[in-house]
A and B are shown apart, each in its own frame.
Chain A
């Protein structure tokens, strides 16, 4: 349809609607067809939906079909279920449509049809539907939070609490007024009583059927229930026509009222399956059925409306309820125009079902329009009665009297004709004894409906059946609200009450349940009783109270909506919620004020009370009251009602003021414009959808501009390729993955944030707050489990965990995890360890060990380790002093007395001290670095570190400071300086004796020492020691009893010990030790018995074990290895005793797996390939690479728009014949011709792996090499000797000579480029950082003939200036191995420089210090070298951070190569 056609159609719809309104408003005096009302309503709804709701959807909330909804993100198959929008619509409509929209319009008909119709139709479009949709959208974007929670979060705690209390108050009034309607419909009606009463056993029968006979067969049992309802209908008629039974079941209003209270109480405390649930199904069916039938009936009959457009009662003298048309029509009709109660549903079940945000328009706005339609139909049904009959049914006896004749007279006085005979005939037709004063709305609606239905089916003869069917229908779903409402009220009351008295909140403790239910029932029961006994009919006073309460809740909801809209930055649309809100404030305030203070006793509660008091004072009784006690009760009720109305008004004011304050703060900039909205997550497109979608999305996503492969752009680094998901952990229940990350689009200096993602395919990550992380810390912390703890739940796993320095007990049964906090201290508790006694938790607090008995809560201190000098024992006296003292003792009694007293005191002190823990004193020069306790709680290992005396730090000057003065950054020492000493002491807890362990065999000296785990039986601990000269590694077992040490394994490497997984050690459940050793030339896993015998290699081969974990069940090892090739990293599982390995992970790239805590066949993995940055995946053991589910997308669309290449791995022939792996970037692969020049990139660290099939940490360089290749340069990136990934010999090939074998491999690279790519040696550039910078210098200084230019970044120039741990291993010490240092340091070879050289260094490099290149610069100056330059970066440390620094550095590198080896460079022109 074209735009013009659409515009035309909508113009016609609008005109038709306006025309229908015109007819409704202007035709007077005679009846008018209901068709006009229906037309006006439908046209208005259509226009409102098409245009008004569109603003909310498109402008205010900008509903986004691609934004994942909470139902998707949190899908759990229970509350959160993405559901088809028509079903959600039906569900939501069934939930919001109750008796409200039927009764309100019926009562409001006393003003004529026009005021009610206008409010219903206009109010819904501008108010009710807006409210429902706004709350629904807000809740959908806040994880389906409830109204109360959102008010608390967005407006404030005061408003939140007020809303909570208001909801409770509203429920009390709502239930009482609905109950009153039922009472009015059933009083004196045996047919009604029997039919409605029978619905209770019917529902219970259904419940039993569903529970025991055919569980889950809801539809089947509902069909049976409906059949039984028809039977009940006829049974009612039978009873009503039976002379004796009829009298038995003719019940008074009060009897029915008490019956209802008893019934609701029972329903609230009984199991829900028995009564609530089946009745709910039944009533939902009947509800939808009747609504549809009524609509069909009205459409079919199009009955004439008998009621005038406006009656004289707009002046406030109406008999149905008192009050003028303003404000009371707006109070009387709540549901149908706007109902605050809907906000509870729009923030209850519905938001958890929406499959797509955009559905909120149809569900929120559309369903409310439908409810408004129901209200319009109820109004029609009430208005098809002649005004006379309408008023006869709906006016209280206090006004029209108790006889048909009297009533006819009163009604005639109002200007409506009513013949008493007609009224009696109608009563007989519906088989009721009388229809006079059957207030409450239900009977008159039933008569109206019966008229319409009988017109369609059955004629006048069927009126009685239709009438009672309608009554039953109304009563049925009023009862449904009654019983479910009472139950909800009971829960709310318990929730509120628990703050006063905790046990009251226990929902499964029967006394609390009974008490809360009784309290709640008596609360509404009181109002009901008051209404039933009120001579004015009760509806008169209660319905306005309910209306005010309901509109109050709507005001709260609209306040919330306004707040949300303002905080979204959409303040210019806030009028959409402010408009209905202001109207409701005006209406509720006016109505409330009038109900309180109106001088008209029929309107004002207080005026009415005054009237009664005056009457009593005058010795009279008010009409309809039998005695003085009744009058006093009436007086009290008036004041109670007034108080309730007052409380509601105050509540509105509080929330309004609280909200306004929030708005002013936010708009005035005093508060950040921040909502609690969940961050938007893209819907991850399911694979199937991708396959079906043609053309592929890659083209759709490609930006129009080509990727800007310039230095400035690629040096934005992580702003392009994104952040790798880090610190990936499963929650203890295995449901969530938590990690540190940043979604694409973050700036280079943004810090990583915490994220989580549901552990299932298709889930989207969401950012979580620090507060959330604090709250889930005990779910994420690593735990250690008791083996068969006696207090564990059946089949559960109980773990001790530490979160934020406090101890928790975490129990998992199946996937349900419960937490129990054990400590809350400022001190840091750590190293939680289940004790072997099965009930204690051992832990360390401030370097002392404690045992906490989890069953009793007793905390016992096991050690008293203190820093300081031990108290001195008194020294033995010299012989001279001893002789003198002996003489004193002999001569003087007073001395003897004193000594005796002293010795008694000392004995007492010793006795007291012996009961205390013996103190272990650690000299103050030593720092306690760890304390570990055996799970048998009989021994502790204390590790101390004594820092070196006189060691000298090499501080780094920092020139750029806020105050303009340079400052010194404390620096590390240089290699060969004094080293600290680590000691391990064995503390026997049974004796309190400490034995310091000797951790090196004869002739050796221990250097680095690490205490490992205790064996499962607590008998031994592992201690992993590296010798001070780095050439030995010793693995010791220390026995808990006696502290004897057993050497389990030792490794000597003539170069130095190290390798992948160096220090990976542990115990098997049987008590054998396992460890990783490079003794075979590659790191592999070994086991050895605790006595040092039976060493077994569990893995072997020319590949490396990179990571080992013992599975939680102790059955297998979970390994990461390079078994398939040195270029990949894969996860494996292997039995504890060794044997066949099962590969878990797939693909050629690199995995960093995290195994699922419960299902060990599942794992999360951070996986990457050379041209796709690391992403978080979920996988299952044995899945193909394509079956892994990707959960994150880290790079930006901009990055992904370039076709990044996988550089092939080539094998370069080493000078010694060994094949050396290298990555090759060939211009040919980029469709570019070679420019005749090449660049060799040298990675840093030496011991680092960069030629592999996963994403390189040299990500900027990866992009820079693309840039070089696009310009015709060939790039080679070599895993030279010294690199990681190729075993021990490769690793140690540079021992005592850095610049030897490693430089040979660069030379081999140069030769390869010449031989295989025809590039002249003088046109080969070399560059790299750190060790790569060192390599560049050594290459240019010592092998100039193979290279034409170089850029040395953050380079080491003199190894004697570097640190101890790294350099001491490779080159020994400068004071003892001068040869190694001389031949390895570029400073000694600078005279060899002939080629152009760029030196670049960060001035605050605390690792390879700036001092290195300063030394080199001076040396080059002294040597008179010409073609070198130096670029310094004043604020950069070893790893550059700022894009500007990166850009400057790489611009210089590119310029160097372009101007030297490039095609137009000094060496290229030759």
Chain B
């Protein structure tokens, strides 16, 4: 049940385009295990800044 809920939550988050720290961590672990990942707050701040800098994330 909790696994199902987590999956549904992750799906919703991605549809919203909300920063998905868990997915980032997974990617980071898989591809850059040698380096320290960003902290959750840093990651969220970086993602939000990127999102509202350019057109292309929302329409009329």
Contact = CB atoms under 8 A, between A and B. Distances in A.
Query: Do A and B come together as binding partners?
Result: yes
Contacts of B19: 216
Interface stretch (A90-98, A1107-1115, A1199-1207): A90-98
Given A215-B40, A216-B21, A218-B13, A491 B48 contact: no
Given A79-B50, A488-B52, A815 B35 contact: yes
Given A215-B41, A1162-B34, A98 B52 contact: no
B35 A146 contact: no
A273 B60 contact: no
Interface string B31-59: 11011100011001111111111111111
Given A77-B27, A277-B48, A344 B59 contact: yes
Interface string A477-491: 000110011011001
A349 to B, nearest CB: 5
B50 A484 contact: no
A560 interface: no
Given A90-B15, A272-B49, A481 B58 contact: yes
B50 A345 contact: no
B60 A178 contact: yes
22 contacts: A75-B31, A83-B14, A86-B11, A87-B15, A94-B15, A94-B17, A99-B60, A167-B55, A215-B44, A216-B19, A216-B40, A219-B13, A272-B49, A276-B52, A280-B17, A335-B59, A341-B59, A345-B57, A349-B57, A491-B53, A734-B34, A814-B35
A339 B59 contact: yes
Interface in A551-566: none
Contact of B58 (A95, A334, A1156, A1158): A95
A1161 B33 CA distance: 11
Contacts of A178: 60
A1156 B20 CA distance: 29
A649 B52 CA distance: 29
Interface string B8-29: 0101111111111101111110
Nearest to B29: A77
Interface in A341-355: 341-342, 344-345, 347-349
Given A90-B14, A280-B17, 4 more contacts: A90-B11, A342-B59, A481-B60, A485-B58
B28 to A, nearest CB: 6
Contacts of B34: 734, 1156, 1158-1159, 1161-1162
Contacts of A491: 53-54
A171 interface: yes
A284 B18 CA distance: 11
A1043 B15 CA distance: 71
B30, B41, B50, B51 — most chain A CB neighbours (10 Å): B51
A339 B17 CA distance: 21
Interface in A89-143: 90-91, 94-100
A273 B31 CA distance: 28
Contacts of A345: 56-59
A481 B24 CA distance: 27
Interface string A316-340: 0000000000000000001100010
Given A78-B50, A81-B23, A87-B11, A98 B60 contact: yes
B25 to A, nearest CB: 8
Given A146-B56, A345-B56, A216 B44 contact: yes
A814 B36 contact: yes
A1159 B49 CA distance: 29
Interface in A1061-1096: none
Nearest to B39: A215
What are the 5 closest A-B residue pairs judged by CB atoms, nearest first? A348-B56, A77-B27, A1159-B34, A90-B15, A100-B60
B47 A78 contact: yes
B9 A219 contact: yes
B35 to A, nearest CB: 5
Nearest to A1158: B34
Interface residues of B, number: 43
B45 A78 contact: no
Contacts of A481: 58-60
A491 B24 CA distance: 26
Given A78-B24, A273-B48, A348 B13 contact: no
Interface in A1143-1177: 1156, 1158-1159, 1161-1162
Contact of B54 (A78, A284, A488, A734): A488
Given A77-B24, A87-B11, A273-B45, A344 B55 contact: yes
Nearest to B41: A215
Interface in A472-516: 480-481, 484-485, 487-488, 491-492, 507
A1158 B35 contact: yes
Contacts of B56: 146, 344-345, 347-349
Contacts of A1247: none
A627 interface: no
A742 to B, nearest CB: 26
Nearest to B11: A87
Contacts of A288: 15
Given A216-B44, A218-B13, A348 B54 contact: yes
Contacts of B32: 760, 815
Nearest to A177: B60
Contacts of A484: 52, 57-58
A99 B54 CA distance: 20
Nearest to A267: B52
Interface in A194-219: 210-211, 215-216, 218-219
Contacts of B60: 98-100, 174, 178, 334-335, 339, 341, 481, 550
A913 interface: no
A272 B51 contact: yes
Contacts of B35: 814-815, 1158-1159
Nearest to A491: B53
Nearest to B43: A78
A1297 to B, nearest CB: 54
A76 interface: yes
A1240 B40 CA distance: 66
A61 interface: no
A281 interface: yes
Nearest to B57: A349
Nearest to B60: A100
Contacts of A76: 27
A250 B60 CA distance: 28
A87 B35 CA distance: 29
A335 B60 CA distance: 8
A77, A94, A341 — most chain B CB neighbours (10 Å): A77
A147 to B, nearest CB: 8
A341 B60 CA distance: 7
Contacts of A97: 59
A97 B15 CA distance: 13
A78 B46 CA distance: 9
Contacts of B31: 75, 77, 758, 760-761
A1076 B39 CA distance: 46
A492 B41 CA distance: 27
Contact of B17 (A75, A91, A98, A492): A91
A817 to B, nearest CB: 13
Contacts of A216: 19, 21, 40, 44
Contacts of B49: 272
A88 to B, nearest CB: 8
A1339 B5 CA distance: 80
B3 to A, nearest CB: 16
Nearest to A95: B58
B29 to A, nearest CB: 10
A95 B30 CA distance: 29
A1144 to B, nearest CB: 15
B51 to A, nearest CB: 7
Nearest to B28: A77
B44 A273 contact: yes
Given A76-B27, A216-B44, A95 B50 contact: no
Interface string A1388-1432: 000000000000000000000000000000000000000000000
